[in-house]
Amino acid sequence: MPFPHQTADTMNPSPQISANLPSPSMVAVAKRQRFQDALFHRLTQSFSLLVLIALVGIIVSLFINAWPTFAKFGTHFLFHVEWDIINEEFGAAISIVGTLLSAGIAMILAVPLAFGIAVFLTETCPVWLRRPLGTAVELLAAVPSIIYGMFGLFVFAPIFADYVQVPLQTVLGGMPLVGWVFGGAINGLGIMAAGIILAFMVLPFVAAVMRDVFEITPPILRESAYGLGCTTWEVVRKVVLPYTQKGVIGGVMLGLGRALGETMAVTFVIGNANRMPTSLFSPGTSIASVLANEFGEAEGLHFNTLFALGFLLFCITFVVLATAKWLIIRTEKAKGN
């Protein structure tokens, strides 16, 4: 017997309200999906943490093995030019200078060429030529570094000595202010040769990244600029570059990181001389080439010193990447202001 205030609707819910209630199967599906999302989140998080743990492990292992060298020489190790394995007197200055010089020459040569290639492929290249030419540039990145080294030693070095070093040294070698820059032995090997070979290696990476980021510029921005009467160079400078500068800086830093850490190609052509370079044609050495040449026979403090060089190379690369990130952040803040 129903209470007086109850009606038929309160005693028997309508079919529409019952239909809106979740069924047991829907609840089970929702629970399973939440579990899958949580599992996927933890799985991807573990992948990220694995990379971080590996990076920290590399840094710690390098520093532990390098500590005897840092404890003995201190900061003097960074500026000392001596490299005497017998008497265990070591300094990293020669290797650091060789690394920075060769990488700097490579970037000075590669970045303008990569920029020109990217602009041509995205702005002025005929449609039928874009894909094969772009593929050809990217194929250079697939060439192993030792092939570049062999090419540099057996093909490039003789040509460089006969047709570049000899004319430059003949014409500019006797000049009072810049003559010393072109001094040294004429054998095709040295800091300049290493920088040019590194430029060949860095070029496809930087060009490919620049081309890809240039292509993501919205066509309406280009068309608007052309409609206002802008030239191709004005479109690139005032529209494409501001829109894609993050990617451009990232591509340049990627190439610089490759140049700083390259081993075999540099080892073939840099000359491998443990003395401070006095000209662009002087033989020298880099951190990577020292590691490649001496790790197999190192022991004792010499072994620890090579780990110290590896730790310094890691620090140099980290500083380069941090500087690139700072430049990007600063540019974004300037845009916001």
Per-residue pLDDT of the chain (337 residues; tens, 9 = 90+): 454 555 545 555 555 555 566 677 787 778 888 888 888 888 998 998 998 999 899 999 999 999 999 999 888 888 888 888 888 889 899 999 999 999 999 999 999 999 999 999 888 888 888 888 888 888 888 888 899 999 999 999 999 998 988 888 888 877 777 778 888 778 889 999 999 999 999 999 899 889 888 888 888 888 888 888 888 888 888 888 888 888 888 888 888 888 888 888 999 999 888 888 888 888 989 999 999 888 888 888 999 999 999 999 999 988 888 888 887 787 777 665 5
Nearest to 107 by CA among 210, 217, 238, 201: 201
Overall pTM > 0.85:
no
Helix axes 301-336, 24-73, angle to 10 degrees: 120
Per-residue confidence (pLDDT) for residue 23, from 0 to 100: 72
Instruction: Tell me the pairing of strands 83-84 and 89-90.
Output: antiparallel
C-alpha atoms less than 13 angstroms from C-alpha of 95 in its C-beta half-sphere: 30
Residues 281, 185: contact at Cβ < 8 Å?
A: yes
Nearest to 210 by CA among 230, 236, 233, 232: 236
Per-residue confidence (pLDDT) for residue 1, from 0 to 100: 46
Distance of CA 226 to the CA centre of its chain: 34
Residues 232, 124: contact at Cβ < 8 Å?
A: yes
